[in-house]
Amino acid sequence: MGKKTWISACQNLENSVDAIVRKFSFPRPIALYFVSRGIDESGINSFLTPKLNELSDPYRFPGIKKAAARLWDAIKKREPILIHGDYDTDGVTATALLSLILRKNGAEVHSFIPHRFDDGYGFTPESLKKAFAAIGKQCQVLITVDCGITSNEAVIEAVKMGIDTIITDHHEAGAELPPALAIINPKIYPELADLHVLSGAGTAFKLSHAFIKYGRENNLGGFTTKLEDVLDYVALGTVADIVPLLGENRILVKHGIEVLKKQFRPGIRALIESSKLKADLTPSDITFKLAPRINAAGRVGDANTALHLLEADNIVEAYHYANQLEKYNSIRQEKEQEIFEEARLQIERDIDLSNCYSILVAGKEWHQGVIGIVASRLARDYNRPAIVLTIQGEEAYGSGRSIGNLNLVEVLGKASHLLVRYGGHPMAVGIGLTAANIKPFYQALETRVRELLSIEDLQENISYDGAVELEELSSGFFDMIDSLAPFGHSNPKPIYRFNSLQLVKSTQVGNKHIRGVFKNFNNSQIEFIAFNQIPDTFDRGMWDILAMPQLNTYYNDKKPQLQIVDFRPAQ
């Protein structure tokens, strides 16, 4: 610790901080939080109390009324509807929520989740045929969730078969849009810029909202359907897909977490219990506990196991599927760690990190289901965009993760002549190429990344919300912390700088952590916890600290403490 650059997000903004303190009577650290995140006075109240009635009209999506009308027509004519999902948490939850809404309103719904290895990613002509073979019939209406925006061939095939296709997706579009009945994807509509952050589950929710609204307006149904009941699915998919928890995502996740806590769905209850979580869930519980278990099914097994869990009718059935996910997750962890260690050795042997702006590693027959997680760990640990490839015969398949504001899809576009296929988000991509092109592709990747990043971008830094004194961590401050949640991507927990603190005492916790007490010049004291630190980390000198203030709950006793993020000798 102490080697990272500390950057104040409130530098030279004290006037704005003071204005918020005067107007709202907030503790100063809370005002720092709002200013550092660019939330002005007009947006504070809606940020603190996000309401479902602040969600925008789903009819803003061009073509969504046409899609809703077609779904109600299918129900009226008793035409079966096929939902083609995806094998990650976002795709599985989107499939579950849309299936539930349609079934509750009389639809005959069949769901198909492709197999990561047998079927590959997305909606394809092959997955279309396999889906109909699996359900034993052809459907007149097909909805894609979390995929489909680049599936031109599959949609053309569906049109030839007389199938009306509705695409719900949130990925980047190609040069030409597929000829679908309706395309529900905020990214293809500039006028929906505020919704570009929606996940696949969030986009499917928008179609569900439009479907219910249209049914009620035209006296077709939907009168007893409570859309808030599927927000647990939306919260799972949104947090798992690491989209910004701002705007409508913040509203959906804030209320979705509350639905999750109720655990009224057998599958949700079994998943939470098998993850050994308490009832007071947070987005980090989704990120690190729930989503990995759902994802594990698609990574090393069958994603339909996760869908069956979410749709389970009774707790016995739910426990059965939850136990299967536990087994899948254990396998995932083992394979992930094995590949990560091999990748790290490869980096140390072959890549000059002092002179490289990107990372590419490749291994023969590395498990394709976990290389995306390995890419995430490498990008985080080395602070560079990372590509991880598995070589299978003459072909190579891979996943990439970006850093900062680097748009990895744009980067790959400059090297597309070396790729068989690519796509995804600015921060996460999937690629395919011939093994012979790995070396020239890495050269092209490195060249393009160098054009877009500076050496400063590769230096590790920590942004904090401002410098505060221990005395400013009042009971009023801690009373407001929960209202700043949900924390996650683009809304991290507040980090503050505390200058010139002196160690009072410290003790070892387990084998890797220390707990203790700091005091300042005024003799104000506060407890702290420092993870992954040795007992003699702090001497009796003065320290500058970056930390997240929190309430440490032990039985019914709540005490303020600092969770140390970084530290260095006082300047």
Which of 398, 367, 416 is CA-nearest to residue 121?
398
Res 459: pLDDT: 87
Q: Is the peptide bond before 486 cis (omega within 30 degrees of 0)?
A: yes
Average pLDDT over residues 354-376: 95
Per-residue confidence band for 147, with pLDDT thresholds at 50, 70 and 90: very high
Number of neighbours of residue 57 by Cβ within 10 angstroms? 11
Structure tokens at 398: 């891979």
pLDDT at 536: 75
CA 100 to CA 512: how far, in whole Å?
45
Q: Residue 5 is encoded by which pair of tokens?
A: 């650059």
Mean of the pLDDT values across residues 379-395?
96
C-alpha angle 461-38-184 in degrees, rounded to nearest 5: 100
Does residue 491 register a pLDDT over 60? yes
Residue 197 dihedral angles phi and psi, to the nearest 5°: -85, -5
> Of 137, 138, 86, nearest to 112 (Cα)?
86
Q: What is the mean pLDDT of the chain?
A: 94
Residue ranges and CATH numbers for the domains of the chain are: 5-37+465-569 (2.40.50.460), 59-226 (3.90.1640.30), 351-458 (3.10.310.30)
3-state DSSP percent of the chain in helix, strand and coil, to 5: 45, 20, 35
> Nearest 10 degrees: CA dihedral of 283, 289, 291, 292?
140
Give dist(CA 68, CA 62) in Å, integer.
12
CB 298 within 8 A of CB 309: no
3-state secondary structure 50-65: CCHHHCCCHHHCCCHH
Helix then strand count (H, E) for the chain reads 19, 17
CA distance readout (Å), 236 to 95, 331, 513, 518: 12, 22, 30, 38
pLDDT higher than 60, residue 44: yes
In tens, the pLDDT along 158-215 reads: 999 999 999 999 998 988 999 999 999 999 999 999 999 999 999 999 999 999 999 9
| Radius of gyration over every alpha carbon of the chain, rounded to an integer in angstroms | 25
The pLDDT assigned to 174 comes to 85
Q: How far is CA 119 from the centre of its chain?
A: 24
Residue 441 and residue 418 in contact, taking contact as beta carbons nearer than 8 Å = yes
CB 517: neighbour CB atoms within 10 A? 17
pLDDT (0 to 100) of residue 532: 86
Cβ neighbours for 305, distance < 8 A, ≥ 6 positions apart = 297, 321, 324, 325, 328
Predicted TM-score (pTM) of the model is: 0.92
Strands of 81-84's sheet, edge to edge? 109-112, 81-84, 141-145, 164-168, 182-184
Q: At 506, is the pLDDT very low, low, confident or very high (cuts 50, 70, 90)? A: confident
Q: What is the pLDDT of residue 460?
A: 86
- pLDDT range class, residue 227, cuts 50, 70, 90: very high
* 322, β-bridge pairs: none
Q: Is the dihedral of CA 52, 230, 208, 284 positive or negative?
A: positive
Q: Coil, helix or strand for 540?
A: coil
Question: What is the pLDDT, as a whole number, of residue 121?
Answer: 78
Dihedral, CA of residue 278, residue 249, residue 325 and residue 320, to nearest 10: 70
By CB atoms closer than 10 A (0-12, 13-18, 19+), residue 480 is middle
**Residues 152 and 174 sit within 8 Å (Cβ to Cβ):** yes
pLDDT at 1 over 70: no
pLDDT of residue 509: 85
Between CA 422 and CA 400 the distance in angstroms is 10
* Alpha carbon distance 325, 342 (integer Å): 26
pLDDT tens profile 441-473: 999 999 999 999 998 889 888 999 999 999 999
**pLDDT of 539 higher than 90:** no
Assess contact for 240 and 232: CB atoms under 8 A.
Answer: no
pLDDT reported for residue 438? 97
Report the pLDDT averaged over residues 268-278.
95
Q: How far apart are CA 505 and CA 538, in angstroms?
A: 9
Alpha helices in 186-310 (DSSP H): 200-217, 231-240, 247-262, 266-274, 283-285, 291-300, 304-310
pLDDT tens-digit readout, 284-323: 999 999 999 999 999 999 999 999 999 999 999 999 999 9
pLDDT at 119: 75
Q: Is the pLDDT of residue 149 over 70?
A: yes
